[in-house]
Structure 1
Amino acid sequence: MFYQDINTIIVKIDAGLSAAESHGMAVGMLCVNNRTGPGYWLSELLHEGGDVSVEDKAILEDLFGETSSLLASDEFTFELLLPDEDAPLSGRIEALGQWCQGFLFGLGSTSATSEPAANWSDDSREIVKDIAEFTKLDADAESEDAENDFMEITEYLRAAVIFLHTELNSVDGRTVH
């Protein structure tokens, strides 16, 4: 899925979010409960927004389904939905912060119906703290070091999210699918 295509739909349905924040929300929900369905995510997206066309709903459901599959895959192919590398670094950093905000919202909105965060491992709680810190990134940074930092944070998030998904969806060490 392309960021701009999803962002156009998110803007059209007046969700008040970006594609990055919407995707982060879906991923957060799936990390806490991999049985979360696209309907719950869409209801959160449309909470303050308007209607969604049948075609746009199908695209968003496909995004959710693909995200769920990639998180559960052993291939480590999960990617954050962010603007392309051609976009200015400041826009990508801003979208990364929005993705993290959406992720935290998704964790919180789904945690109410699952295991309390107080029962999570120290590693899981530390990752969530890191993600909260990433919401404060300076979007005005423009340098080769900032580009490298952005790439490192993105890779860390990919691995951290897969770890959280696996850990929070396991029962006695077995992943629940």
Structure 2
Amino acid sequence: MSHNPSNLPSLPDVDKEMRELGLATPAPELHGALCGWLAGGGESSDAWLSRVLVDEQLAGAASGGALEALRRTSESQLEDRSFDFALLLPDADAAIEVRSGALFDWCRGFLGGFGLAAGDRAKLSDEGSEALEDIARLAAAQPQEEGDEEDEEALVEIEEFVRVAVLLLHGDCVLAARHRQRLN
């Protein structure tokens, strides 16, 4: 069973395009950074790579490529609110060490992108602040080398928690801000 809904580009496709651009960041971390950027109110544009990776020299993602598809799909999943939001992670058949490490990389990327976009001005609900702290704890975690079925279940629950936390933070920073603008 694959982690990624069919509309999110595959991890190998994203990896390949990143290598062609000379990017050394792991693909899950880049996706986390993109989602953090979007959830924190960063603009979704062709220049997202240079903004998220804080490198003005970076070329934009190729039109029609995996990275452009990653941005478009992630943005629409965040905006959709139907909880179809997905994390770009290795498939469920990968070792728990690989999957947990990729999830922690994703969280590290998310924190960086979110911080860049939201800065200190993020107006977070109590739940949003708590969610951000939890993502920060996950970003600092170390991958587990081996695991049993209980560990597998825990990892799935953590992934689900991260998905919901990201939607909550996007709601706090983007949707609530839009709502406030409409009221004024």
Q: Work out whether the TM-score is over 0.5.
A: yes
**Could you say what the CA RMSD is over the residues aligned between the two structures, in angstroms?**
2.7
Where does structure 2 lack aligned partners over 5 or more consecutive residues?
Answer: 1-8
Summarize deviations over 1:20-79 as a string: whole Å, max 9, x none.
Answer: 00000010011111x612334211348298657736x73211210110000111321111
Where does structure 1 lack aligned partners over 5 or more consecutive residues?
Answer: none
Matched, 1:153 2:161: no
The offset of 1:169, in angstroms, is 1.2
Matches within 5 A, 1:6-155: 6-33=14-41, 36-43=43-50, 44-45=52-53, 47=55, 54=62, 58-112=65-119, 116-117=121-122, 119-139=123-143, 140-155=145-160
**Is the CA contact (8 Å cut-off) linking 2:81 and 2:167 kept in structure 1?**
no
Give the TM-score taking structure 2 as reference length: 0.81
**Is the CA contact (8 Å cut-off) linking 2:39 and 2:174 kept in structure 1?**
yes
**Is the CA contact (8 Å cut-off) linking 1:26 and 1:41 kept in structure 2?**
yes
Query: Structure 2 vs 1, CA of residues 168 and 146 (structure 1 numbering), >3 Å: closer, same or farther?
Result: same
What is the percent sequence identity of the aligned residues? Answer: 31
CA distance in 1, matches of 2:93, 2:17: 21
Q: Which deviates the most, 151-160 or 35-44? A: 35-44
CA distance in 1, matches of 2:113, 2:61: 23
**Is the CA contact (8 Å cut-off) linking 1:83 and 1:95 kept in structure 2?**
yes
Counterpart in the other structure of 2:5 = none
| SS, match of residue 124 in structure 1 | helix
The offset of 1:121, in angstroms, is 2.0
Give the TM-score taking structure 1 as reference length: 0.84
The offset of 1:171, in angstroms, is 4.0
CA distance in 1, matches of 2:100, 2:23: 21
